[in-house]
Amino acid sequence: MNVKKIIVSTILLTVVMVGIAEANRNPGNIWAVHSDGAREDYFNLGEDVFLEGQNLKEDWTYLYCIFDKDERSSAYQQVLKSGYVDTNSMGYIPPQYIWTIPKGDFSGHDYRVDLVINSSNGCDGIIKAKRDTFYSYTNSIPEFGTVVIPAAIAIGAIFLTRRR
């Protein structure tokens, strides 16, 4: 057996195990929540979005970044807003206001909030700690049949009652 290979393998295995342990050190979760703390993924236009988290690093300030999904691809690209949230002594983020869904968002956007471990680069090229996806309700235009058919029936009823 080659002692040098054993030592190198042991060192590499140790480095990998330390990296895995560091990645799993903060196994917490985050959620985009409503003002009442409800953990629903859909928000109305003009509604405030809050961030809640648990089992994170205690007494820590995290950078959060809100991304918008490009409608022509599956990538979250545009940073809409960023800011900071704090954990308490138990690693809990009580619901903290982070953003408001735009009132003019009629396309039902997909949004993502990332909680960042290393914020030295801001929201670009970051190592993300946790993420959650949330959506806005669409304000759809009624379909043709749901408007025209009842209108045609009402107009026909008016003409029938006037002819008699």
Q: What is the pLDDT of residues 122-142, one digit of tens each?
A: 787 666 668 888 888 765 555
pLDDT band at 20 (very low <50, low <70, confident <90, very high): low
pTM more than 0.75: no
User: Could you tell me where the DSSP H helices lie in the chain?
Assistant: 3-23, 144-163
What CA–CA distance (Å, rounded) separates 94 from 91?
10
Q: Counting runs of H as helices and runs of E as strands, what totals does the chain give? A: 2, 8
**Cα 96 vs. chain centroid, distance in angstroms?**
14
- Mean pLDDT across the chain: 78
Domains present along the chain, CATH in parentheses: 26-163 (2.60.40.1930)
Higher model confidence: residue 94 or residue 13? Answer: 94
pLDDT of 160 above 70:
yes
